[in-house]
Amino acid sequence: MPASRLADILSKAGVACEPSDEALGAVVRLEAARITDALAALLSDGFGFLVDLFATDTGEAIELTYHVRSLKRLEDAYLKTTVTYDGEAPSVWRVYPAALYAEREAAELFGMAFPGHPNPKRLLTVEGTEPLLRKSIAIREAGEVRLS
Amino acid sequence: MTDEELMRVRGIRPEGAYTATVLPKGLRRLPKGCDELATEHLILNAGPQHPSTHGVLHILLELDGEEVVAAEASLGYLHRGVEKLAESRRYHQVGTLLDRADYVSGLHSETAFAMAVEQLAGIEVPRKASWIRSLTMELNRIASHLVWMGTFGLDAGAMAPFLYVMRDREAIIGILEAITGSRMMFNYVRPGGVLADLPVGIEQRIRAFLSTFPGFLDENDALLGGNEIFRARVQGVGVIDRHTALAFGMSGGCLRATGVDYDVRRARPYCAYPEIDFDVPLGERGDNWDRYVVRVGEMRQATRMVEQLLDGMPEGEFTAKVPKVLRPPAGESYAAVESPRGELGIHLVSDGGPTPYRMRVRSPAYYNLAVVDEALAGGLLADAIVTLGSLDIVLGEIDR
């Protein structure tokens, strides 16, 4: 499925986006504030399954990836949006309840927030843990790293 | 935002789809005397060191007498940061981490990772390597389902089947040890192929296993599934309907038990699966019994597949030529396999360096577990334990 078809679906719902066909598949990039509207439009189009939701630290900001799928047509679509460190993206749990856990995990491991989440507690780590998956957090202390 | 605003779901999900009836806020923690009967809600901690939570799951149950009012899973007791650690490992070394993520069926996550790397780096896998991968994965699937079958019986109070299925699993673990060199932490599937060729004499050993296993499986099935008490405990209990399962991203046996015909081996064919013949067992109602029937059916299908894979095992190389230090070009890839628990996907981001820039594990048990907050409410405490067992969770994979 070409990314331009995704862009058509989103533009009908009044969401502006930037489509691109990548090796990964059809990807559209859009602003974080419109993510709920965009996913609701895709859901009405038959993308009923949220495969995964995760964040990546790009070095400048946090990139959120929403991977959705239509099980009938076996089509995958990727929505990407970037938020600043300590930024926020609206919770999409009303569109895909599968996001309930994934958003809690992304929030604690990247130090961002999903306003609108009904139970925004930590999921995997205890209170006070640093956002572990950020690139600024080293895997080992400097003294522990074995030099080659 | 108020609760009413959060709950405003109409108009967002299309007609006929799942809509939340209760705000998924976790425990209600209703105060004493919340009704005219002076009802007091008891909060019960099940786990993290309770045998029926299959590892280190901590589940909080809010009880009104015997009835579960709300349930909330508390995770993270086994969180080792597999995704973070992968960012410091070369591509050949990540398999060891993934073995410890899903420790009951390590070969599946290893294969998913290898496939994601091969997509990124454009490596062509030799036909024999694909077939060996499928062969070991199907053996691993039987071993994993046997562990599930035994522990599911234990949850419902059946002790004996556990001992018998462990005997059968031991035979498979022995075969896998002969092939991979390790009983559970295999690190056998590498980007480009597998670590080593099949050892001499393994075919006879697998055939000897295949000659006895179907009979043993029928016996175990009759012992557990044919038991009147077990059936009464599971039939019609823990119903998760199709819309709920899809909305919560459930996959694998849990999704197929609701009648949705979705299997990664069919939908996104990989390894040797397009070339062999197998059926996908389906359920109807999505209750605990359907999940049991689907998984036992999957074991029978896996036995069939192992036979075909042995018969048609091609000659050739067991691995492609892969550089010692892989540096895939910058980009992203997603590869998924049908693990015993569902769709196990690895999403890789490469920046062209010798280690992954970001690895995301799409863990099937993680999404399957998310439904408990919804599915356990309204049932009885004893049923909650059985329903939890039917989901086949592996905490190593959920917490990563």
Question: All domains of chain A, ordered by start, with CATH?
Answer: 3-144 (3.30.460.80)
> Cβ of B320: how many Cβ atoms within 10 Å?
15
Of B317, B103, B1, residue with least CA distance to A36: B1
- Residue predicted with more confidence, B21 or B331: B331
- B180-237 tens-digit pLDDT: 998 888 989 999 889 988 998 899 999 999 999 999 999 999 999 888 989 998 988 8
CB within 8 Å of chain A, chain B residues 346-365: 347, 349, 357-358, 360, 362
Q: Residue B136: pLDDT band by 50, 70, 90 thresholds?
A: very high
If you measure CA to CA, which chain A residue comes closest to B76?
A124
State the best of A9, A45, A52, A63 to mutate against chain B, taking most chain B CBs within 10 Å.
A52
Which of A23, A50, A121 has its CB closest to that of B333? Answer: A23
Q: What are all long-range contacts of A61-64, with beta carbons under 8 Å and residues at least 24 apart? A: A61/A85, A61/A87, A62/A87, A62/A110, A62/A112, A64/A32, A64/A35, A64/A89, A64/A106
Contact A94 B333 (CB under 8 A): no
B358 Cβ partners below 8 Å, 6+ apart? A56, A57, B83, B87, B347, B348, B349
- pTM of the predicted model as reported, rounded to 2 decimal places: 0.89
Angle between helix B127-155 and B288-311 (nearest 10) = 150
CB within 8 Å of chain A, chain B residues 72-91: 72, 75-76, 79, 81, 83-85, 87-88
**Positions in chain A whose pLDDT score sits under 50:** none
DSSP SS3 for A29 = strand
Mean pLDDT, rounded, of chain B: 87
Q: Is B160 on the interface with A (CB under 8 A)?
A: no
ipTM of the complex: 0.87
Alpha-carbon gap: B187 to the closest alpha carbon of chain A (Å): 22
Does the pLDDT value for residue B4 go beyond 70? no
Q: Give percent above pLDDT 70 in chain B.
A: 91
Of B257, B51, B223, residue with least CA distance to B149: B223
* Residue A135 structure tokens: 């690139």
What is the pLDDT, as a whole number, of residue A43?
A: 86
Does the pLDDT value for residue B10 go beyond 50? no
> Cβ of B296: how many Cβ atoms within 10 Å?
19
Q: Give percent above pLDDT 90 in chain B.
A: 38
If you measure CA to CA, which chain A residue comes closest to B269?
A74
> Cβ of A104: how many Cβ atoms within 10 Å?
21
Statement: B82-399 belongs to CATH 1.10.645.10: yes
* Residue B164 structure tokens: 């018998």
State the best of A123, A145, A147 to mutate against chain B, taking most chain B CBs within 10 Å.
A123
Alpha-carbon gap: B8 to the closest alpha carbon of chain A (Å): 8
Pairing of β A62-70 and β A75-83:
antiparallel
Contact B12 A100 (CB under 8 A): no
Contact B76 A125 (CB under 8 A): yes
Does the pLDDT value for residue B263 go beyond 70? yes
B75, B56 Cβ separation under 8 angstroms: no
State the best of A42, A44, A47, A101 to mutate against chain B, taking most chain B CBs within 10 Å.
A101
* Residue A138 structure tokens: 């080293």
In this structure, the dihedral spanned by the alpha carbons of residues B85, B86, B87 and B90, taken in order and rounded to 10 degrees, is 120
Q: What are all long-range contacts of B271-276, with beta carbons under 8 Å and residues at least 24 apart? A: B271/B111, B271/B130, B271/B131, B271/B133, B271/B134, B271/B137, B272/B130, B272/B131, B272/B133, B272/B134, B272/B135, B272/B309, B273/B134, B275/B312, B276/B134, B276/B305, B276/B308, B276/B309, B276/B312
CA angle B173, B178, B182 (to 5 degrees): 65
A143 Cβ partners below 8 Å, 6+ apart? none
Does the pLDDT value for residue B145 go beyond 90? yes
What is the pLDDT, as a whole number, of residue A141?
A: 58
Contacts of B70 in chain A (CB under 8 A): none
Alpha-carbon gap: A55 to the closest alpha carbon of chain B (Å): 9
What is the pLDDT, as a whole number, of residue A3?
A: 81
> Cβ of B312: how many Cβ atoms within 10 Å?
11
Does the pLDDT value for residue B8 go beyond 80? no
State the best of B79, B262, B270 to mutate against chain A, taking most chain A CBs within 10 Å.
B79
Place of tokens 């009983």: B183
What is the pLDDT, as a whole number, of residue B102?
A: 86
- Using left for φ > 0, alpha for ψ between -120 and 50, and beta otherwise, residue B353 falls in beta
> Cβ of B358: how many Cβ atoms within 10 Å?
23
If you measure CA to CA, which chain B residue comes closest to A145?
B88
Does the pLDDT value for residue B260 go beyond 60? yes
